[in-house]
Amino acid sequence: MCGIAGVVNAGGAPAQTAILEQMRDTMAHRGPDDVGIHVDGSVGLGHRRLSIIDIEGGHQPMGNPEGTVWVVHNGEIYNFRELRRELEQDGISFRTRSDTEVILAAYEKWGVDCLERLNGIFAFGIWDKTNNQLFLARDRLGIKPLYYAPTPSALLFASELKAFLEVPTFDRRVDPAAVDQYFAFGYIPAPATIFRAAKKLLPAHYLLWREGDFRVERYWRFEPHSDRNDRGIASWTDELRDVLRGAVKRQMVSDVPLGAFLSGGIDSSLIVRMMSETTSDPIRTFTIGFGGCGLDETPYADIVAKKFDTVHHEHDVTPETVDVLPKLVWHLDEPFADSSLLPTYYVSKITRQEVTVALSGDGGDELFAGYTRHQGEKLSMRFRRLPSWVRSNLVSTLNGPVVRGVPKLRRLGQVFANAQLDFGDRYRNKESLSQVVDRADLYSDEFGLEVGGGENIALLRELANVTSNSDYIERLTVFDLEFYLPNDMLTKVDKMSMASALEVRVPFLDETVMDVAARVPSKLKLRGFTTKYLLRRLASEVLPGEIWKRGKQGFSVPLESWFRGQLVDYARDVLLDSRTVSRGYLKRSALENLLIEHETGKLAHGRLIFGLITFELWNRVFVDNGGA
């Protein structure tokens, strides 16, 4: 991948080369192979390159022959060869073999409509000097990041938020509403950022800037439309196998060494299987373990590696690895509570020692109903059909003190309590790091008044309206693809892989696979309470039984045991430190009570404790140390 940065000043004020270089070079880890800059009057574009395709000819910023249109690009366009042939038939000639030049030519021919033709992972900025116009765009699912910061006199953009801190006039004030959203979800949902002055460009959106004014528009939306034809499961399995194999083959195009993440789950194992059908060369695979604890998937990864004769690498993550958290917080740019960032960082690090590109199985759960929330939503619907007095008694009993110490019953009580809410509120609660009432206890009196009565996520309300006529599996799919996937999963993978200058590609999120997923009937995704039914059927034909028969485990870190064992002192040292409390966000008494409840086993707060720690570390890195 790469790192891009730029500035366009209104009123003709000259772009400052030194500041642009500083913005660009904060992202040196994203592009260690090449560096470029283009400054023309009030416009400046900067680029750090990780060379993947056309290593010799893909230097950026890249301009057209006339020097009137310039592009900086982060990502890969998988169908660039087909687009190139189409453009060549129209008489357009090319000077390089790069996909970036295809973006440039596609924009010149089709304008913003070029986005409808691009199949890939991308974030780019195009300066059109003739029309005095800046065009920013982000891929359909937000696989690659893009931030922007409008000011009265300019528009800044970059692949990473920290680049804006190099601009002296950038407003560094923290947004209290974003902090509250962080403690609600464990991440800050787009378009917000931790800073008031900056925004994330939403996935499947573009921004057009012209002479100080700009607008943001959506260009694509995932729209489930189940095929009503009476097709059998075998027909769907064959089609899915063909498109997934095609997506893998397309995404294996590279001029540098390539491998795959392998967790031992269905999704990554299917990717490795399809890779084995595409190449005769040994596949290099990489996995992370947790020292043999209950969350360790390395035995399953070993089964797949042996089955397909891969060159396999493993690495264990232990509690001591939290020492790297300040570094990872710097790479993340914002507070982030998904602890799987730790194994993602380490698997990326060991992968980069061998290859420059890795394929992953991300996206399979979201597209094909792989989460427990899909089962929970089905259970909720059945619960809602019960008489009101039965529902009331069940919720009261399962959320009472009698079952508080029984985790499975407590989770069931949470499902039933959640079932009585509207769909959008149910989804929010399932995804929450902490509920409104819990945050009210954590917050200082002053900060509690500042944020008011709870998070206000416009996107969730919009999604609830857009999906109002969909069945519950289709609704969850849309919510996941537009909310959870880009804000959590894809953010984590991008930031942690690019910390080691590793490009990660996601074949399940190829547009051809998404097209099939949009048409597959929900009953073939969740059959009874069996998740990912169609993927399991495919896996049963091509993977060992130990893999396709097992339940979902997830890329989880054993936080509950870590914060009751080896990391008790670490958590206390961070959260009860005078610096933490003096910031004015949190109450010391609430933090101490939270730690006691967790350490004694009264309640499980591992995820929230981790989120509180990364929030404090973010303040130390970006507030106390200025982002250094």
Write out the catalytic residue numbers: 2
Contact 304, 272 (CB under 8 A): yes
- Using CA atoms, how far apart are residues 291 and 592, in angstroms rounded to an integer? 30
Task: Report helix, strand or coil for 436.
Answer: helix
Strand order in the sheet with 357-359: 311-316, 284-289, 258-261, 357-359, 503-505
Tell me the H-state helices in 68-200: 80-89, 99-110, 176-185
Count of helix runs (H) and strand runs (E) in the chain: 27, 17
| Tokens at 600, concatenated | 């004694």
| Tokens at 75, concatenated | 């990502």
C-alpha closest to that of 408 among 270, 604, 593, 596: 604
| Tokens at 166, concatenated | 């190099």
Q: CB under 8 Å to 415, separation ≥6 — which residues?
A: 376, 379, 380, 383
∠ CA(363), CA(279), CA(348), 5° rounding?
A: 45
What is the per-residue DSSP string for 175-239?
A: -HHHHHHHHHHSS--TT--SBTT-EEPPTTEEEEEETTEEEEEE----------S---HHHHHHH
Q: 606 φ, ψ to 5°?
A: -55, -45
| Distance from the Cα of residue 539 to its chain's centroid | 25
3 state SS for 318-363? CHHHHHHHHHHHHHHCCCCCCCCHHHHHHHHHHHHCCCCEEECCCC
- Using CA atoms, how far apart are residues 316 and 302, in angstroms rounded to an integer? 14
Question: Which residue type does 422 have?
Answer: D
Chain position carrying tokens 């392998």 = 262
Return left, alpha or beta for 309; rule: phi > 0 is left, psi -120 to 50 is alpha, else beta. left
CB atoms within 10 A of CB 410: 17
